[in-house]
Each structure stands twice: as structure tokens, then as C-alpha cells.
Amino acid sequence: MWRYIAQRFLVSIPVVIMVGIITFTLVYVGPGDPAAIIAGDEATPEILEAIREDLGFNRSFPVQMGDWFWKLAHGDLGTSYFSKREITELITPRLQPTLSLGFQVVVISTIIGITTGMLAAWKAGTRLDRNLMVLAVLGFATPGFWLAFLTIWVFAVNLGWFPVIGYSPIQDGLFKHLHSLFLPVMVNSILASAFISRITRSAMLEVLREDYIRTARAKGASEFSVFLRHAFRPSAIPVATVIGASIAGLATGFVLTETIFAIPGLGRMLVDAIVRRDYPIIQALLMVVAIVLIGVNLIIDILYAYIDPRIRY
């Protein structure tokens, strides 16, 4: 197993490098000029040129990319064009809101998604199954921004149960922290659990049609045992995959959620950076997210081997 993990880790390194090259190239060729934004309407060509020189835009593409990779290899994510601060310094305070939001959403959506998916599979064809799947379809067909505004209007403005804004860090109290993130967690969990629920149901139904399930039932195993011991574990492979894919979806979904709920996380930081064409921040954040996703994939690969011992790489 350790050899397998090491292999997977080593394979991830060229993937990270490729992501870095693609990210840098896309940002480089994308439209927008931070120097023009900084310069303002009154800028003369001389001022614009001086800003470009100051930001290092006058260097060739390979030189800029090489410089970026060299710094990255040394743990230096660069400096923001606008705030002139180290990006690691800017990212650090933003990690907690995003990670906490992500952790809560993954846990809650997994619990809700798997539970409802299993229930639907168990009661396949019944009214309960149909109702749950209608809710699931509604869940992933509902636009995230609309659901976010709806929850704000209902639970914050009208009922006053939860705050609209005002992220509270964990160190200020766990309850306060959870309370401040309740609405964004709810919105993202609804969207993510709908997907997990659908996949869990279909995976369970597929497994439940297998011969060995019929055999288990014929041997007199209880439905509970058939479901949890015999059916759920084989179904867990696609479910684990979907949870991993959901995390990728969350990474982009948080851009929207953090913007609407004014959460000072990485998603909003990315939007602000794109708006200003603050290239070092965009590149750094995309690299961070890519590395997180590669890490999630690595974990899922390991989970595969644990869930299904037949899987060996």
C-alpha cells in the first residue's frame, strides 16, 4: 500500500507542473491589463510604461514563467500587484473560512446524500423514493445564487435567525462560528447532497440486482444486513468518486457563495484578483486549488483500495 501511495504521489508531481504551465499560460494570454487598471484614465504612455516595467511585464513570456516557477519551487507564491503584500500572507487568513465551509458542506452533504440515496434505493418505486428523487432533482437544478438569496430573505431578513454577513472565526467560539456559516453551508449542502443522493441510489440499485444479494436474502440475511453489509460497501466506490467530484465543484461554487454571503475566503479572493487582473494571486490560488484536488483524488484512490480489496494498482 505504501508503495502504491508513493507512486501516486510521484505521479501527481508532473500533474502539478502541467497545471502550473496551463494556468500561467491562460492567465498570460487572457484579456486585461493590470497596468492599465492601476494607471487610471489620466495616465500618459510614460506612466503606463513605468507601471508595466515595475510589474515586470516587459520581460519575455518564458522569462516570466521561469521566474514564477523558480519562486514557486522555493515556496514563494509571489507578491500582489495591488497590495504589494506577500500572497502567502494574504492567503493565510482566508484559508480558515473556506476550509471550514468546505469541511462542513462535505460532511453534511455526504450524510444527507447517502442517507436519502439509500432510503430511496431501499424503497425504490414507492412514493418515498419518488419524493426524494424529485427533491434531489430540484436540488441540483436550482441555481445556487437564487437559493442563496432566498435563504437570506427568509432566514436572515424576515426571521432574523441567522446573520447575512459577519463571518466569525473558530477562535471566537465554535457556536458563533457555526452560526455565522449556517446559511452558506445550508445552500451548498443542498446542492451537493442532491448529486450524492442520486448517485447513491443508482449505485445501490445496481448492486441490489447482483446475484450475491439474492443469495444473501435467500440465506435469510435481514434487510438491514443486506443493505449495510452486502450492498453498501460495493456501492461506495462510485459514491466516493462523486464526493471527490463534489469537492471540485465546491471549489468553484464557493466563489459564488463567498461573494453573496461576504465570506472572506479564497473564492472571493479569486474573484477580486480576476477583477483586477492581479495575476500572481490568480495563479497562486489556481495552483492551491489544483493541489487540493489532486490530493483529494489521491485520497480517493487510497479509499478505493480500502473499500474494494480486489482493486490493486
Partner 1 sequence: MSSEQKRLIMNRVRYRGLILLLIASVAMIVTACSSDPVVETVIQTVIVAEKGDTITVVATPTATLEERTLATADAKKGGHLRVASVGSVQSFDPLWTTASSTGNVSSMILEGLFAYKEDNTIGKMLIDDWKVSSDGLKWTFKIREGVEFHNGISLTTDQVIGTLRRQSERAPVFKLVWEQFGPTSFDEFITKDSDLEFSMNLTGSTGLVLDALGPQNFAPQMVLSAWYSLPATESAEGTPIGTGPYRFESWTPGDRWSAIPFANYSPSTEASDGESGAHTAFFDRVSYIEIPDQATRIAALQTDAVDLVQEFSQDLIDRVKADSNLQLIANPPLRLLGHFNYQIPPFNDPEHGRDLRRAVVMAYDNEKALLAAAGTPDRINLCASLMECGSAWENNAGSENMYNAKRIEDAKKIVKDAGYEGYTIRLMDPADRQPAHGAAQVTREVLEDIGFNVDLRVMDWATMVQDRATVDRWEFFHTWSGRSVRIGPIGHLRFGELQYEAWFNQYSDTDGIQRKSFETFASETDPAKINAAMDEFQQYFYDDAIFLQVGEFFSNWAASNQIEGLHGNPGGQKPYDKWFK
Considering only residues 255-274, where is the footprint of partner 1 by CB under 8 A? 255, 259-262, 264-265, 268-272, 274
CA angle 244, 245, 251 (to 5 degrees): 95
Among 51, 77, 101, 187, the residue binding partner 1 under the rule CB under 8 A is: 51
- The C-alpha atoms of residue 212 and residue 169 are separated, in whole angstroms, by 50
Binding mask 275-294 for partner 1 (x = CB under 8 A): xxxx---x---x--xx--xx
Q: Check residue 299 for interaction with partner 1 (CB under 8 A).
A: no
- Which residues does residue 86 pair with via DSSP β-bridges, in sequence order? 79
Binding mask 78-107 for partner 1 (x = CB under 8 A): --x-xxxx----x--xx-------------
Binding mask 127-156 for partner 1 (x = CB under 8 A): ----------------------x--xx--x
Contacts of 179 (CB under 8 A, 6+ apart): 162, 163, 168
DSSP alpha helices (H): ranges in 142-278?
144-151, 174-180, 182-208, 211-218, 223-225, 233-260, 266-276
Q: How far is the CB of 304 from partner 1 (least distance, A)?
A: 7
Q: Which of residues 218-237 bind partner 1 (CB under 8 A)?
A: 237
> Could you give the C-alpha distances from 129 to 81, 115, 139, 302, in angstroms and in order?
54, 12, 15, 32
Between 93 and 223, CB nearer to partner 1: 93
Between 113 and 119, CB nearer to partner 1: 113
